[in-house]
Amino acid sequence: MFTDRGRQRFYAAGWVISAGVMIVASRIWQLHLREVEQRAEEAERTRDETAQRRAMEERLRIARELHDSLTHSISVIQVQAGVAVHLARKRGEEVPPALLAIQEAGADAGRELRTTLSVLRSEEDGDCSGLGQLESLIGRSQAAGLPVTVTVTGAQRALPPEVDQAAYRIVQEALTNVSRHAGQACASVHLHYTPAALSIQVEDDGTGTGSSPRSGTGIRPAGPGLGLLGMRERVTALGGRLHAGPRDGGGFQVRAEFPARARP
């Protein structure tokens, strides 16, 4: 039989052992949790690395496709335009502005393709163009026979690179559509800067009597083309809004608005 003192010592020893077991169990549980977390982090990192590798492989595939399909065609255009310009000057004839515009556009397309391919082959993203090239774009459009006016309102400022590039592409595609579908038309480009946004408006007064009629609406009757879809995707991806449709009184209008806070 235990005396009272013996029982107290027994109980005390039991409590010490129990506490020790609980501490050891708690420590083992913490180590187990840490191991599980580390495994989860490693799995997530592996998944991210796999996704990045697949994305890079896809970018390289696209780069190869672009190189194989476009480089030759652009080179042929540049060579043919250069030969035509040379022959016209050799005969003492005035070189048509449209031919000079084709030559310059071919050179620009070659530069942009090379830049795009270098971006696709790089692990870092980059932009190929921006509103800094707008003057050159307007000049090419005018040389090709499309009268274009440009107005800028608000405090012009540096834009986030992705907005700068998308804005340029919107103007470029809109003017391309005017040249293709508006017939004998004049176009206007209006850029409006606010502290938090950039608005772009491209209008024409065309009638759609060119080789690709727009029935006076600026859009083929069968529906919007890939250019319009591409514009909408660019704007939507940046959290903006796009409106494209006929103007009152004729012609067509493209209006885009981007959230575009000033860069810090």
pLDDT, one tens digit for every residue, the chain (264 residues): 556 565 555 555 555 565 665 676 667 766 766 776 777 777 776 777 777 777 777 777 777 777 666 766 777 777 778 888 888 888 888 888 877 778 777 777 777 777 677 666 665 444 457 898 899 889 888 887 889 999 999 998 888 888 998 899 899 889 888 887 777 889 999 999 998 899 999 999 887 544 444 433 333 333 445 578 878 888 998 999 999 999 888 889 999 999 976 444
Q: What is residue 5's predicted lDDT score, i.e. its pLDDT?
A: 61
Residues 231, 225 contacting (CB under 8 angstroms): no
Q: What is residue 224's predicted lDDT score, i.e. its pLDDT?
A: 46
List of domains in the chain: 72-126 (no CATH), 128-264 (3.30.565.10)
Q: What is residue 203's predicted lDDT score, i.e. its pLDDT?
A: 93
Q: What is residue 241's predicted lDDT score, i.e. its pLDDT?
A: 92
Q: What is residue 209's predicted lDDT score, i.e. its pLDDT?
A: 44
Distance from C-alpha of 131 to C-alpha of 204, rounded to nearest angstrom: 20
Question: Could you tell me the pTM of the whole model?
Answer: 0.56
Phi-psi region of 78 (alpha: psi -120 to 50; beta: other; left: phi over 0): alpha
- 132 DSSP 8-state letter: G
Which of 186, 107, 125 lies closest to 150, judged by CA? 186
